[in-house]
Amino acid sequence: MTKPDKKSLEAHHELTDVKFRPIFWSVVGLFILVAFALMIIMAVFGTLQERQEKTEVPSSPLSERQPLPPQPRLQVTPDMDLEQFETLQDSLLNSYGWIVREAGVVRIPIDRAIQLKLERGFPARQNYRKMEEGNLKIENRESKIDDGDSDIK
């Protein structure tokens, strides 16, 4: 470091400013270096692009039309599709209609079906299980023993 002059010591601070010329030339040199690097990068990219264009085979006009992918395809509007599906299901659950007209099979609203089922009751097996003296006994079942004469091999 250089020693301060007598005037700066008497004033208790530096009286001279920072030298401007070295800072200016450093900034100018930095800009020149950046500009030179940018020109080199542009030249390299230009060369690479020309080389790629030379080796690239033009695509056939027929290859631009792609066939559709196999089913199932992605939905374009899944929210709308779900809403339509739910609307259809609600209309099937809450309306009357024929399922098989020739056989006389009909569809009734779900609320009416629940009401009818509660009124008529659920089917139950009679005498299937019977409790005797705390033990569970299964009736009307015969165990068949395979004697090896079956046709299944």
- pLDDT tens profile 16-37: 777 889 999 999 999 999 999 9
> What is the pLDDT at residue 143?
44
> What is the pLDDT at residue 130?
52
> What is the pLDDT at residue 122?
82
Token reading at 148: 């090896």
Q: Comparing 132 with 111, which gets the higher pLDDT? A: 111
Q: How confident is the model at residue 45 (pLDDT cuts 50, 70, 90)?
A: very high
What pTM does this model have? 0.34
Task: For residue range 118-146, list pLDDT tens digits in order.
Answer: 998 887 766 555 544 445 555 544 444 44
Arithmetic mean of pLDDT, 104-127: 86
State how far the Cα of 48 lies from the Cα of 19, in Å rounded to an integer.
45
Token reading at 81: 């599709």
